[in-house]
């Protein structure tokens, strides 16, 4: 299980990479492992507004449907257009090619609510018990 140091993490198992005012968002290695084989994704459109902790998209495994939650609020400025055709990238490279959307943040203070890699690793360990 990987927990890259340069990312921040939400309780809903999304990761965030902050570059200036833009947050790249994806699901964590733990999340993809729990979901199993991902076969479908539903993404927002560029320009859509998203709110922290609200669902902005859907991932479906063979068995189940799960919402993806926005870790921060803002405007969607880019979506990973390769994902709908290749949803398995979420399993294979959840921190890389499996990124989901980029959000132009409207409140940088929200980043304070996210976890560090070490905190998230501990959070996952507790959830597993």
Partner 1 sequence: MNRTPLYAAHQALGARFVDFGGWEMPVQYTSILDEHQAVRQRAGLFDVSHMGEIELRGPQAVAAAQELTVNDLGRLHDGQAQYSLLCRPTGGVVDDIIVHRVSSERVLLCVNASNTEKDFAWIAEHHNGAEVINRSAEFSLLALQGPRATEILTGLTSLRLSQIAPFAFAEGKIGGRQALVAHTGYTGEDGWEIYCAPGDARTLWDALLEAGQRFDIRPAGLGARDTLRLERALPLYGHELTDETTPLEAGLSWVVRFTKPSFIGRAALLRQRERGLTRCLVGLAMTAPGIPRQGYTVVHDAVVVGAVTSGTKSPTLGKAIGLGYVASTLGAVGTQLGIDIRGRVIGAEVVKLPFYKREC
In angstroms, the first-to-last Cα distance of the chain is 16
- Planar angle of CA 113, 115, 119, nearest 5 degrees: 140
For residue 47, list its beta bridge partners.
none
Subset of residues 35 to 94 that bind partner 1, contact rule: CB under 8 A: 36-37, 39-40, 42, 58, 60-63, 65, 84
Closest to partner 1 by CB, 60 vs 104, is 60
Of 10 and 61, CB closest to partner 1: 61
Which of 20-28, 31-39, 100-108, 113-121 is the region at the interface with partner 1 (rule: CB under 8 A)?
Answer: 31-39
Q: What is the DSSP letter of 106?
A: S
Q: Which residues contact 81 (CB under 8 A, 6 or more apart)?
A: none
Closest CB to partner 1 among residues 65, 118: 65
Where are the strands (E) in 13-129, listed by range?
A: 14-19, 22-27, 38-42, 49-50, 55-61, 65-69, 74-79, 101-105
User: Binders of partner 1: how many residues, by CB under 8 A?
Assistant: 12
Examine residue 1 and tell whether it contacts partner 1 (CB under 8 A): no
By beta-carbon proximity to partner 1, the closer residue of 16 and 31 is 31
The minimum distance between CB 17 and partner 1, in angstroms, equals 27
Query: Would you say 26 and 99 are in contact if contact means Cβ atoms under 8 Å apart?
Result: yes
Residues that bind partner 1 (CB under 8 A): 36-37, 39-40, 42, 58, 60-63, 65, 84
């Amino acid at each position: 299980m990987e927990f890259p140091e340069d990312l921040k993490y939400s309780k809903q198992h999304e990761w965030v990479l902050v570059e200036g005012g833009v947050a790249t968002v994806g699901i964590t290695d733990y999340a993809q492992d729990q979901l199993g084989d991902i076969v479908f994704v539903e993404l927002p459109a560029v320009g859509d507004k998203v709110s922290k902790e609200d669902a902005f998209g859907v991932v479906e495994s063979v068995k189940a449907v799960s919402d993806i939650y926005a870790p921060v609020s803002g405007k969607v400025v880019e979506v990973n257009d390769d994902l709908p055709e290749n949803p398995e990238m979420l399993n294979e490279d959840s921190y890389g090619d499996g990124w989901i959307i980029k959000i132009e943040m409207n409140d940088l203070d929200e980043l304070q609510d996210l976890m560090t890699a070490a905190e998230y690793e501990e959070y996952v360990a507790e959830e597993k018990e």
